Every structure is written in C-alpha cells, then in structure tokens.
Amino acid sequence: MDTDDLNVTNANYERVIAVMNKFLTERYKDLCACPRCLCDIAAIALNYLPPHYIVETPAGKEHGSPWVMVETAVTEAIDRVIEHPNHPRSGSQIRPTDQHRSGSFMS
C-alpha cells in the first residue's frame, strides 16, 4: 500500500488560515500583521475550535468545522490579539517596516 500521499492533519487548521487571509485583506486592514500576531491569531482561533483531525488524501479534504464557526473563532482571536498583542504596540521588534501601522484601528 502506498502511503506517501497520506497525512494526518487538523482540517480546521487550513480553514482558520483561509478565514484569516480573507479577514485580513477585507475587514482588518489596520491590524498588525507581523508573524507573531498572525501566529497568535491562528493559535487562539484553533483553541476555540474542536480539533478535527482527518486523514488527508489527494482525493480531497472537505472536512472541518462549519465555516461560520471558524469565522467566529477567528474574529474572537483577532479581537483578543488587538487588545493584548504579544509585543509593544509601537513598532514591531520582529519585522519593523512601514506597513506596520499601529494604533489606528482603535481610534
């Protein structure tokens, strides 16, 4: 049996990443998008959701929690990171760039 293409994966992980990408480009344009904040958001959202491990095959992987649940979890996670970022609000130490606009979202 060829098991090269099989993978155990948390189906909700891909959903969370997909929803995050959508929200960050459509709704939360002023959100700090440094790697630290993005990882925090993903981790918090995944903790809200039940794990949904599946065997991933090339045939397809339409599994995971309902999209509305994933979107709720990501919204909660973004709100939490906005209120309690894991780094000082002014200037990211991880990736200081001009894209890093801080403070404007809350005002």
CA-nearest of 73, 64, 74 to 31 is 74
Q: Which member of 11, 16, 31, 32 binds Zn ion (CB under 5 A)?
A: 32
The secondary structure of 39-81, three-state, reads HHHHHHHHHHCCCCEEEEECCECCCCCCHHHHHHHHHHHHHHH
Task: Decide if residue 37 touches Zn ion (CB under 5 A).
Answer: yes
Closest CB to Zn ion among 11 and 40? 40
Binding segment for Zn ion (CB under 5 A), chosen from 6-14, 26-34, 46-54, 60-68, is 26-34
31 binds Zn ion (CB under 5 A): no
> Considering CB under 5 A, how many residues would be counted as binding Zn ion?
3
Q: How many CB atoms lie within 10 A of CB 99?
A: 10
**Choice between 32 and 70, CB closer to Zn ion:** 32
Tell me whether residue 3 or residue 90 sits nearer to Zn ion (CB atom). Answer: 90
Q: How many angstroms separate the CA atoms of 23 and 11, rounded?
A: 19
| Residue number, 53 or 79, with CB nearest to Zn ion | 79
